[in-house]
Every structure is written in C-alpha cells, then in structure tokens.
Structure 1
Amino acid sequence: MGLRIATFNHLLNQHPEVRADLALHAGRRIAITLPPIDLAGVVTADGWLAACEGEPEARLRLKHGVALAQLSGREPALSDIVLEGDIELATEVGRIVRRLQWDATEDLSRLVGDVAANRVQGFVRSLFGIKGEIGGRLLENWVEHLREEAPLLARKQDVASFVAAVDVLREDADRFDKRLALLQQQLADKPPVR
C-alpha cells in the first residue's frame, strides 16, 4: 500500500492546486479502486494521502473505461464510475482526482535532463500519435462488440433490469411465505372436525 500512496502523492506533488483542494477534506478516509489497484488512506492537512486503519468513508470504484477515456482524451462515462459511502465526499474526491495528470516529461527530465526528456516525449508522441489513436479506437470498438454483438459483457441496463426482476421475485416469494404461514396458523387454530 505504501508504494501506491507514494505514487498518488507524487501525482499530487505535480499539482499543488489539486493538493490544496484535497486538503479541504483533511482527516477524511478515502479509497480509489481501479482493478487491480486499490488505494486507500486518510487526507492530511497538507493535502497528501497517508496510510490509515479502518474503512474509508467514501470510495470511488473506477472501471477500465475510465482509463481508456483518459488515454484517448475523452471524458469518462458516468457508468464507469461507482461512488460508495459518503456520496458528497466521493463526488468531490472524484472531481479532484480527475484533474490529476501525470507529467512524465518532468519526471524523465530529472533522470536524463530537459533536452533528452523533450526528445523522448516527441519520439513517443510520434510513435503513438496516429497509431495510438487507431489502437484506442480499436480497443473501444472491441469492448462495444463484446457488449452489443457478442454479449460476453453485460450492458448496465440489462444487469439493472435483471436485478430489478430478482428483487420483485424475492418480494413475491416473501409475500407467499407470509401468506402460507398465515394459512397454516389458521388451520392449526381451527378445532378438529369429528
């Protein structure tokens, strides 16, 4: 957990204004999950995240669609973010975390210098420019294919309607059990016929 918190704090260090906004929630326990990564801690008065014990007050569960959207420069779909616990806190943390962007060139410049870091950045952009965009679109289309045409992945609406149907069935079964118990009680209370 320490390495994950250190990585998150490193991102916060690159964005002092984001850290200042996070500091407004000092003492609150938060968690951010993007499988297989699970990050949890308490917000410090300086806007850092520190390890802590206990359950988080708010959790953001991010689906992989958020990472795909981030890579392609799009806004993530609301269905790709699940808020749990204190919804107000989770929403605010989500807004704060959304503003975090890793400045890889800055980190690379510390290792190899500014000129070499800018050259590497230019090379990577040219390498992944149109190819990266095509790859991202292919991946999005593949996920859509799995959801729509070859239903290996369930659509959110289908899952929601299935869950609703299960809830109705459970309620009907509960009513049936109560009615059956009432009829059995009435039968037991009747005097035997001779």
Structure 2
Amino acid sequence: MNNTSPFSFLQSIASRLQPPAWVVDEGQQRLVLFLNHVLMQEKEAQDRLARKKGNVLHVRWGVFAIDLLITPAGLFDRASPSAKPDLLVAVAADSPITVAQSVLAGKPPPVKIEGDVQLAAELGWLAENLRWDVEEDLSRVLGDIPAHALADAGRRLLEGLKQFLAMRPGAPAAASTVPAVTPAPDAGKAAT
C-alpha cells in the first residue's frame, strides 16, 4: 500500500526553495508579535515566563527555525544570532498533515526537547493552558454578533476538517501522538 502523501512533491519543491532573507525576517517578527499578543491576554503566562527571563529558546521544524529570547516582562523577543540556546525544541514530524492531525485532535505534535528542564516545564504549561481567544479579537474589530458568527463557522469548519483527516487511510490513532521528550544529560542546561 502506498503511504506517501499526494502532496509529497510540494514538500520536495518547498525544501529546495528558500525565501529571501527579508521574508524570513518579517515572518519571524510577525510570529513574535502574535505570540506576545496571546501571552498578554494571560497574566499567569507572563509571570511564568518572567521567571525564566534571559533564557533563549531555539525552535525548529524542518527548514523553519527561530531563536526566542524571554524578556523580563515575560514576553518573547528575537534572540541575537550569537545567543546560545538554553532549550532546543524540534518538531519531530516533517509532514504538515501529521502536525495538523495532532493539533486538530487536541494533542501536541511529536517534539524532541533538549536542554533546561525547568524552561521545558514552563513551555509545557503554556502549551496546555494558553489559548488564543480569536472570537474576542474579532469582536474588537467587527462587533460581537459578526465575530460570534465567524467563530462558529470556523469551529464547524475545523470539526469537518478533523473528521476528514480522521477518515484518511493511514491516519494515526488519537493515542499515537505522544510527544517524545528527551532531557539533556545535565538536568539544568543543554549539552554542547
């Protein structure tokens, strides 16, 4: 049975094409702004991150990579290229479909984690407890009724997508997406 994705040719093309440096720079800046927007909606999340101020987090998924510095305010900023990361987080699944299936099933995608165990625990708490309130943001722009209608339509669309992905041949079972956590040999800091 052929288990290759019908979009595998797109993945091979995307892996060969590299966006210009300014696109990568702007994309990373927008990601940092979005993460901070979500963090600012939850004071507990900011307080937890503020305890780890100055730490650097390196996140990688395929060719995408970003280094994030935790600020004293409990927010993120982009770290300097020469900064040594305290924690490495790599998404273990190369396929965007596999990651989407995990996220839509309410599970984290499989990840490999190395480095500072306390920082990893704080990020784990954030992953489990921090959510973007899309409807609230939409209501600020559109008003309450249109925002509720759009959010409801989005929820129905996501539910349909979940059902579609679950029906795919070779779709992983709900319990099979357990994140792989590998602490570093030294429980306090990343190994070099």
Structure 1 residue 142 and structure 2 residue 170: aligned?
A: yes
**Structure with the higher fraction of residues in helix conformation:** 1
List alignment gaps of at least 5 residues for structure 1.
146-194
Change in 2 beyond 3 A, CA 1:68/1:81: same
Counterpart CA distance in 2 for 1:15 and 1:123 is 25
Tell me the equivalent position of 2:133: 103
The residue number in structure 2 matching 1:38 is 65
Of structures 1 and 2, the one scoring higher in RCO (CA 8 A, sep 6+) is 2
In the aligned structure 2, how far is the partner of 1:67 from the partner of 1:35? 15
CA distance in 2: counterparts of 1:144 and 1:120, whole angstroms: 30
Cα deviation for residue 138 of structure 1 reads 2.9
What letter is aligned with 1:8? L
- Provide the C-alpha distance between the structure 2 equivalents of 1:40 and 1:8, rounded to a whole number of angstroms: 13
Runs of at least 5 residues in structure 2 that lack an aligned partner in the other structure: 1-27, 174-192
Distance 1:4 1:124, change over 3 A: closer
Q: TM-score, normalising length from structure 1?
A: 0.61
- Residue 49 of structure 1 is matched in structure 2 by 76
The one-letter code of the counterpart of 1:104 is: V
Task: Name which one, 1 or 2, has greater alpha-carbon Rg.
Answer: 1
Give, in whole Å, the separation in 1 of the partners of 2:55 and 2:163: 41
CA–CA distance in structure 1, aligned partners of residues 63 and 151 of structure 2: 28
Q: Once superposed, which parts of structure 1, at least 4 consecutive aligned residues long, lie more than 4 Å away?
A: 64-67
Q: Deviations over 1:163-184 (max 9, x none)?
A: xxxxxxxxxxxxxxxxxxxxxx
Question: Residues 30 and 59 of structure 1 are in contact (CA less than 8 Å); yes or no, is this contact kept in structure 2?
Answer: yes
Contact 1:22 1:96 (C-alpha < 8 Å) held by counterparts? no
- Could you report, residue by residue, the CA deviation over 1:53-74 in whole angstroms, capped at 9, with x for unpaired residues? 113111211244555333222x
- Please provide the CA RMSD for this pair: 2.5
Residue 71 of structure 2 is aligned to residue 71 of structure 1: no
The CA distance in 1 between the partners of 2:90 and 2:130, in whole Å, is 16
The whole-number CA distance in structure 1 between the counterparts of 2:92 and 2:127 is 15
SS at 1:135 equivalent: helix
| Equivalent residue pairs, number | 140
Give the equivalent residue in structure 2 for 1:125. 155
